[in-house]
Amino acid sequence: MDFELTREQRMIRDMVRDFAETEVAPIADEVDRNDRFPKETFEKMGSLGLLGLPISEKYGGAGADTISYALAVEEIGKACGGTGLSYAASVSLGAGPLANFGTEKQKETFLVPIAKGDTLGSFGLTEPNAGSDAGGTKTTAVLKGDRYVINGEKCWITNASYAQAVTITAVNGQKKNGKNIISAFIVPTDSPGFKITSPYEKMGVRGSNTTELVLNDVEVPKENILGDPDKGFGQFLHTLDGGRISIGALAVGIAEAAYQKALAYANERKQFGENIGKFQAIQFKLADMAMEIDLARTSVHKAAWLKDQNRPFKKEAAYAKLFSSEMATRVCNQALQIHGGYGYMREFGIERMLRDTKLMEIGEGTSEIQRMVIAREIGCF
Amino acid sequence: MNIYVVMKRTFDTEEKVEINDGIIDEEGAEFVINPYDEYAIEEAIVLKEAHGGEITVVTVGNEDAEKELRTALAMGADQAVLLDTEDLDGEIDHYTISEMLSAFFQDKEYDIILGGNVAVDDGAGQVAPRLAEKLEINQLTTITKLDIDGESAYIERDVEGDVEIVEANLPLLVTCQQGLNEPRYPSLPGIMKAKKKPLETLDLDDLDLDEDDLEAKTRTVDRFLPPEKDAGKRLEGEPHEQVQELMSLLKNEAKVI
Ligand SMILES: Cc1cc2nc3c(=O)[nH]c(=O)nc-3n(C[C@H](O)[C@H](O)[C@H](O)COP(=O)(O)OP(=O)(O)OC[C@H]3O[C@@H](n4cnc5c(N)ncnc54)[C@H](O)[C@@H]3O)c2cc1C
């Protein structure tokens, strides 16, 4: 048993922390206020190699491990939740399936530019009528000659406006038992009939690009199908497991930022002639926050470690995502409470963290879905 | 071009520093490359990009400094050398460190040696100038601009806020001041490559040194944090009343006039 980070992991964490403090944190408020995707930040992240962090060197990445990736996401999230979400979505959801299931040619064409930071990764699963129940996907892909023709609609897809291609799930047949076969297709965003808009007014993660996709007779070459056409959607669940680790890490980062602000504030805000941090009621809140953040981080690192060891990590990834995201909402809420009326004001940045972190309980599988995953894993049938 | 950087690992003075019985609590401290040395590393990389050559980063310390050496390698240095102080039992001061460095440089060929202006922990700015003296080479401190053309260097120095322009010949030692450049972040591929770059550890035997030759010339008697600042005093009233009160406070309380 060894809880020590390696020297490399520490170097990566320190570098990303430094980067996030100087380049990401100072614009977090402006990005949130203006609902603006900070393209310039992603260009800088690309040139530092951050967008290819866990991707193998063969495909233009840095070949770092999942723990390093979790550390990086945490640091970015600490500075700005929205930036953190787009980062995690590009690496885990965008690059992940291409790295795991892509053919050599698909990797060359679509993974390398993501790893190098020339474009962002994006994964389109959710539809207006198919969220938690991905099996309810309505988008269809029909093979005509040597091309698939795709029709359908996707909602709340992260990064698509800044992506060269989106990996999209669609029904492309029926199994013998009548159930739909769902496959994933790599769809270049400049394909005719592919419309990408960003019509949403979000509560939080407003720096993240969230899009609606409409596909109207969009044609892609047959070889753009990702993974084994017969295996269907099941093969991609592995990708979601990996993504959950990063959402856990992101939640830890946001919580850490809120906690640090609350601790500093408690030690300087005076009421009744004393720092409010002297009051046991406030101390106990802070003690709970510190403890919960540490436990959440440990759960994230454990899941990441299992993944790095090529061991099963589905249950631990769900633990990490579920506990960290719910923890972060509690922590941000209490951090706001410690700030009193100031916390309710935009200027103090805490209300943004609370708005940002709420998404972590919803995206990449809601808390309820995480509990279902865990229940299945521990043997409830 | 043979480029050397002398670098120090220090605790991060922007983080909380705790002192117990005159000794800095290393457990709680965060360690970094001395920020002025980061300018030196960056400038070395800029020189290499312009003139080609090789960058060697040297530090005096223990194995903990390997992380900072690797960070320098990740930024773009080619190799690193740790002059290990493990065999030294007594106190280590600027004399000890500069003796070890000059022993290392005895048989080296160098065009330029770069260091930081001062280290942020003790702020002495002694090691690099001592090293230049020992090596009997030109030295220029607190530089804010550096251009090298053939054997000569065009340099701007920060002299108490003014600029002094100097030309000097190589080989040369310079210490780097804020304003010289903007140190780059180590890139991720850089970090991953750094572990494969050579990092050599030399002990006293390797340097042909004896512990007795290195005995510190100074002794640290105590270390303490600056006293906590009391809350300030706000003067109230009309400007002329405030002036009156300020006068009386300066006279009677602070007793400075
Ligand atoms: C900002 C943002 C970014 C996003 N980015 C992406 C992206 O990049 N790609 C992508 O594909 N999707 C993305 N999503 C979509 C996200 O993954 C879905 O919102 C999420 O999976 C939940 O689906 P839903 O919103 O349709 O909720 P629903 O599935 O309709 O769920 C509504 C509620 O019912 C609960 N529920 C559902 N089924 C059950 C059940 N069986 N038992 C108990 N409770 C249940 C849910 O937990 C939830 O509380 C994003 C969403 C947002 C808001």
Q: What percent of chain A has pLDDT over 70?
A: 100
Return the pLDDT at A236: 78
Return the pLDDT at B122: 87
Interacting residues of B26 by C-beta distance below 8 A, sequence separation 6+: B11
Residue B80 DSSP SS3: strand
Return the pLDDT at A163: 98
Chain A interface test: which of B73, B188, B228 (most A C-beta within 10 Å): B188
Q: Considering the domain boundaries, does residue B99 fall inside one?
A: yes
| Contact check, Cβ <8 Å, A49/B70 | no
Q: Considering the domain boundaries, does residue B53 fall inside one?
A: yes
Nearest to A53 by CA among A116, A113, A110: A116
Q: Considering the domain boundaries, does residue B122 fall inside one?
A: yes
CA–CA separation, A111 and A105 (whole Å): 10
Tell whether B16 is within 8 A of chain A (Cβ): no
- Asked if B209 and B103 count as a contact pair (C-beta separation under 8 A), the reply is yes
> Annotated catalytic residue: which of A30, A364, A368, A377?
A364
Closest ligand 1 atom to the C-alpha of A366? 47
Low-confidence winner among A118-122, A240-244, B26-30 (lowest mean pLDDT): B26-30
Closest ligand 1 atom to the C-alpha of A205? 1
**A132-136 contact pairs (CB < 8 A, 24+):** A132/A365, A132/A366, A132/A368, A132/A369, A134/A169, A134/A182, A134/A233, A135/A179, A135/A180, A135/A182, A135/A233
Instruction: State whether B81 and B162 are in the same domain.
Output: yes
Active site residue A201: no
CA–CA separation, A309 and A307 (whole Å): 5
Residues framing ligand 1 (Cβ under 6 A): A 89, 93, 123-126, 131-132, 156-158, 202, 205, 210, 359, 362-366, 368-369
Give the closest of B66, B187, B188 to A7, CB-based. Answer: B66
Residue A217 in this model has a pLDDT that exceeds 80: yes
Return the pLDDT at A213: 98
Q: Considering the domain boundaries, does residue B54 fall inside one?
A: yes
Return the pLDDT at A240: 83
| Contact check, Cβ <8 Å, A53/B188 | yes
Nearest to A89 by CA among A198, A249, A197: A249
- Asked if A367 and A326 count as a contact pair (C-beta separation under 8 A), the reply is yes
Return the pLDDT at A348: 93
The domain total for chain B is: 2
Mean pLDDT of A295-321: 97
| Contact check, Cβ <8 Å, A52/B188 | yes
The residue of chain A nearest to residue B66, with distances taken between CA atoms, is A7
| Structural domain containing residue B178 | 2-214
CATH hierarchy code of domain A7-115:
1.10.540.10
Mean pLDDT of A125-135: 93
Q: pLDDT (tens digit, 9 = 90+) per residue, A151-202? A: 999 999 999 999 999 999 999 988 888 888 999 999 999 999 999 999 999 9
Instruction: State whether B256 and B155 are in the same domain.
Output: no
Return the pLDDT at A234: 79
Q: What topology is assigned to A123-232 in CATH?
A: Butyryl-CoA Dehydrogenase, subunit A; domain 2 (2.40.110)
CA–CA separation, A48 and A62 (whole Å): 10
- Which residues between 34 and 63 in chain A have a beta carbon less than 8 angstroms from any beta carbon of chain B? 47-50, 52-53, 57, 62-63
Residue A337 in this model has a pLDDT that exceeds 90: yes
Kindly compute the dihedral angle of the four CA atoms of residues B160, B163, B165, B171, in this order, to the nearest 10 degrees: 50
ipTM over 0.90: no
Chain A CB contacts of B192 below 8 Å: 8, 57, 62-64
- Asked if B9 and B68 count as a contact pair (C-beta separation under 8 A), the reply is yes
Instruction: State whether B254 and B129 are in the same domain.
Output: no
Name the residue with the closest Cα to ligand 1, atom 11.
A125
Chain A CB contacts of B188 below 8 Å: 12, 15, 48-50, 52-53, 62, 64
Return the pLDDT at B12: 87
Q: Mean pLDDT in runs of 10 for chain B (257 residues)?
A: 96 84 83 95 97 97 94 96 93 94 96 96 93 96 96 94 94 96 92 93 94 91 84 86 92 86
Return the pLDDT at B213: 87
Return the pLDDT at B226: 83
Mean pLDDT of A71-96: 97
Q: Which CATH number belongs to the domain containing residue B31 in this structure?
A: 3.40.50.620
- Calculate how far, in angstroms, residue A130's C-alpha sits from the geometric centre of ligand 1: 8
Q: Considering the domain boundaries, does residue B146 fall inside one?
A: yes
Tell whether A4 is within 8 A of chain B (Cβ): no
Residue A232 in this model has a pLDDT that exceeds 80: no
| Cα of A214 to nearest chain B Cα, Å | 36
Tell whether B142 is within 8 A of chain A (Cβ): no
- Calculate how far, in angstroms, residue A365's C-alpha sits from the geometric centre of ligand 1: 6
Nearest to B9 by CA among B77, B87, B83: B83
- Asked if B69 and B57 count as a contact pair (C-beta separation under 8 A), the reply is yes
Q: Mean pLDDT of all residues in chain A? A: 96
Q: What topology is assigned to A235-377 in CATH?
A: Butyryl-CoA Dehydrogenase, subunit A; domain 3 (1.20.140)
